[in-house]
Amino acid sequence: MKKLLSCLLSAAIILSALSGCGTEAPEESAAPTASGAEYDWETGYAAYEPDTVVMRVNGEDVLWDEFFYWLYSTYANGLAGYDLSDPISGEGSMSFGQYAAMNAAGYCLECHVISSKAEELGVTLTDGDREMLEAQIESDIEEYSADGTRAGLFEYLAGLFVTERVYEFINSGMLLQNRLMTFLYGEDGSALSDEEVALTAEQYGFMTVKHILLRTMDDSGEALGEAAASAKREQAEELLSELEAAPEAGREALFDEMMAEYSEDPGLANFPDGYCFTEGTMVTEFEDAARALEPGGISGIVESSNGYHILLRESLSPDDMVLLSTGDSYTLRYTCAVLRFNADYSDWVESASVEYAGGFESFDAASLFE
């Protein structure tokens, strides 16, 4: 089971793995060096009652305990040691304290967009989701509670400015996000038609490619000697000549036979039907050669840091397994559903109604310590 708590403790992105959350980090190149500043965050938290309304997102109240958690996490996970009153990139620019407040508001906005959209569409957690949350709490109690009790867990979390309400809201929101995507696009994207998958795949530049790889490095990553590398090149030329001489109707079948017999790609066992990917996943030479082919086309010899490739571009199928830059893989149908959901989510954030309670629209974290 995924550790929801670890997301909470690190102020990591808790929504879709392919979507953003919060605001962009300040540019390091222009930032001053850390001054070693220290702050009494307990005093800062006590400046307002936990149930003080800071802002409203689509009519939902964002309370001080939630806003402060993201405020503290922004500082602790990126700004620690900086003086909150210092400008980020020179005189007249936003201060670190203003940035922390803006980022906290961004997290609150994006979390409440999920909960408000779910309410609008009548999407709720399932019994299975609630069981997962309870199991997660039990796991967190075991790992973080000093005395093995629920009260002990939240005593520990209080030291990180996480109230029980915030813990439950954020972790429930993570599961609500999954429910929303399933509501809109079906389990694993099953509600998307093949045509919709094809349109989305084209929009994001997905390709599916098989290849025969003759490696010019050994298993330790060391380059082969000149003679051995030359022999690989000659072998690649022989295979390509045989493919080019084969009748067109049987060329793809011959390619598959050659790939099974000669390819030295270590990923072949996991991706026997080829790699489905988009820009930035493969080495540049591979991607450029693949993009130049039409489905059914076979490349010349493509040299990369991995060795010599011969590529066969395939037609896209919703069942193709997409290779992500993280090394994970999902079906193209599911990947397209995620991408569509992320686009929806961005639109929801952009069009959300946001109202700040008095004084919080221009809030500066540094004001808590004056």
Structural domains of the chain, ranges and CATH numbers in brackets: 4-190+343-369 (no CATH), 207-315 (3.10.50.40)
Q: State pTM to two decimals.
A: 0.82
Q: What is the pLDDT of residue 33?
A: 57
- What percent of the chain shows pLDDT beyond 70? 90
**Which whole number is the average pLDDT over 19-34?**
46
Chain segment 49-88, per-residue pLDDT in tens: 999 999 999 999 999 999 999 999 999 988 988 999 999 8
Under 8 Å CB-to-CB from 42, ≥6 apart: which residues? none
Chain segment 192-228, per-residue pLDDT in tens: 999 999 999 999 999 999 999 999 998 888 989 999 9
Chain segment 220-259, per-residue pLDDT in tens: 889 899 999 999 999 999 999 999 999 999 999 999 999 9
**Which whole number is the average pLDDT over 79-105?**
90
Question: pLDDT grade, residue 36 (50/70/90)?
Answer: low
Question: pLDDT grade, residue 6 (50/70/90)?
Answer: very low
159: pLDDT strictly greater than 70: yes
Contact (Cβ atoms closer than 8 angstroms) between residue 54 and residue 64: yes
Q: What's the token pair of residue 256?
A: 């598959």
**Which whole number is the average pLDDT over 117-132?**
96
280: pLDDT strictly greater than 50: yes
Mean confidence (pLDDT) of the chain = 88
* H or E segment to which residue 68 belongs: helix 64-74
Among 29-38, 84-93, 343-352, top mean pLDDT goes to 343-352
Q: What is the pLDDT of residue 221?
A: 83
Contact (Cβ atoms closer than 8 angstroms) between residue 332 and residue 38: no
131: pLDDT strictly greater than 70: yes
Chain segment 317-344, per-residue pLDDT in tens: 999 999 876 777 889 999 999 999 999 9
- What percent of the chain shows pLDDT beyond 90? 78
Contact (Cβ atoms closer than 8 angstroms) between residue 106 and residue 21: yes
Q: What span, in angstroms and rounded, lies between the C-alpha atoms of 163 and 49?
A: 12
> At how many degrees (to 10) do helices 332-351 and 164-185 cross?
120
Q: What is the pLDDT of residue 30?
A: 43
Q: What is the pLDDT of residue 91?
A: 66
- Largest distance between two CA atoms of the chain: 80
